[in-house]
Amino acid sequence: MGGDAMIWAGVGLRAEAGAAAFADALARVGRRPDAMACLDIKATPALMDWAKAEGLPLTHLTEQDIAGEPTLTCSPRIKARFATGSVAEALALASARKGGYRARLIAPRVQSACGMATIALAERTDI
């Protein structure tokens, strides 16, 4: 596959997360995505403003969109609440698959130093 694969970032966050937390998590994940996804219930003004400032489209998914999504990491608390092991990983995978694509996780979730944001990356593969 060429270097033009689309990379999606799934963003998990706490309500009080701000631009510094998002930027730190993105730096820790080590690659810049082409687009991002978050849960519709977590689309805070801070996240939307940061995504716009970064020039990254932000897709909103529902809890139903990520329920049952297999992930590499698993938090028992998240599993009980969202029916998936990692919100960020599930978001990355589910958003990358939109439109009938296959997707694979290329970076498991990483957390910002403050613990307020997590980012995971997935890339689209052939249909």
The secondary structure element, H or E, covering residue 119 is strand 117-125
Beta carbons within 10 angstroms of residue 119's beta carbon: 29
Q: Would residue 60 count as lying in a domain?
A: yes
For residue 68, the SS3 value is: coil
Quote the number of domains for the chain. Answer: 1
Q: Would residue 1 count as lying in a domain?
A: no
Q: What angle do CA 88, 104, 58 make, to 5 degrees?
A: 45
- Residue by residue, pLDDT tens for the chain (127 residues) are 444 679 999 999 999 999 999 999 999 999 999 999 999 999 999 999 999 999 999 999 999 999 999 999 999 999 999 999 999 999 999 999 998 899 999 999 999 999 999 999 999 987 5
* Sheet with 7-13, edge to edge strand ranges: 58-61, 35-39, 7-13, 117-125, 102-111
Domain boundaries, position 56: 7-125
- pTM, two decimals, is 0.93
Q: Would residue 87 count as lying in a domain?
A: yes
Q: Would residue 89 count as lying in a domain?
A: yes
Q: Can you tell me the distance from the alpha carbon of 124 to that of 15, in angstroms, rounded to the nearest whole number?
A: 29
Q: Would residue 80 count as lying in a domain?
A: yes
Q: Would residue 2 count as lying in a domain?
A: no
Q: Would residue 57 count as lying in a domain?
A: yes
Write the CATH number for 117: 3.30.420.180
Q: Would residue 26 count as lying in a domain?
A: yes
